[in-house]
Amino acid sequence: MRILLVEDDPDLSRQLKQALGDAGYAVDHAADGEEGHYLGESEPYDAVILDLGLPKMDGVSVLEQWRRANIATPVLILTARGAWSEKVAGFDAGADDYLTKPFHTEELLARLRALLRRAAGHSSPSLAVGGLRLDPRAARATVNGEPLRLTSLEYRLLHYMMMHQGRVIGRTELVEHLYDQDFDRDSNTIEVFIGRLRKKIGQDRIETVRGLGYRLAPLVGEPQEG
């Protein structure tokens, strides 16, 4: 999953980037409204964390323009303490959730997980396909109860595929949701990561749909878990 963070405070940005990275997300950061607006319009993020008080273009205007352009990405806004009217303006502009500064990073991460879950149409906090289970709260996955040792990219790949289980996902889509913008993106490397992940979770779990992409499907004859 790939997140856009639009925040002008350098200390808070550094802290959040670190926490989001540790939680298993690819993160792009914009330090002003113009850059944030541009990135949100040109890259398919899974969610956006948007500060409202920003240089060059304020957060409410950024959000209004995205929504006018039919960009439906879930957006969590960061508002200043006591500024209730900011929250109203943010929700009216199309925000999905908010947090008032200062906040605990854990709360931000929990709200983000809820946003991503709702956007993908899942109700349970952990994701399961057959005996394969992934818990975004701990950034961990297991097969039949056995913990999987995954690199951060393998975890991100599995997380995205489990969020969209049963659907065929193209290579370009995977590239766009796994790597941050500074990463040297090459869709051929996806095949390598899929191969490594198959070795860890079982060869048959990821199906190759020729010319279209990959699909994470329950094994034949395996009961579906909730």
CB of 99 vs Ca ion, minimal distance in Å: 13
Q: Which of 146, 126, 148, 149 is nearest to 136 (CA)?
A: 126
CB of 59 vs Ca ion, minimal distance in Å: 8
Q: Which of 26, 24, 98 is nearest to 59 (CA)?
A: 98
Taking the least distance from each CB to Ca ion, the nearer of 93 and 134 is: 93
Residue 135, burial from CB neighbour count under 10 angstroms (0-12, 13-18, 19+): middle
Taking the least distance from each CB to Ca ion, the nearer of 31 and 157 is: 31
Residues that bind Ca ion (CB under 5 A): 8, 51, 53
Pair 28, 48: CB distance under 8 Å: no
CB of 83 vs Ca ion, minimal distance in Å: 12
Taking the least distance from each CB to Ca ion, the nearer of 55 and 195 is: 55
Taking the least distance from each CB to Ca ion, the nearer of 86 and 97 is: 86
CB of 101 vs Ca ion, minimal distance in Å: 8
Taking the least distance from each CB to Ca ion, the nearer of 79 and 126 is: 79
Question: Cα dihedral sign for 165, 171, 174, 176?
Answer: negative
Pair 185, 175: CB distance under 8 Å: yes
CB of 31 vs Ca ion, minimal distance in Å: 10
- How many angstroms separate the CA atoms of 50 and 37, rounded? 10
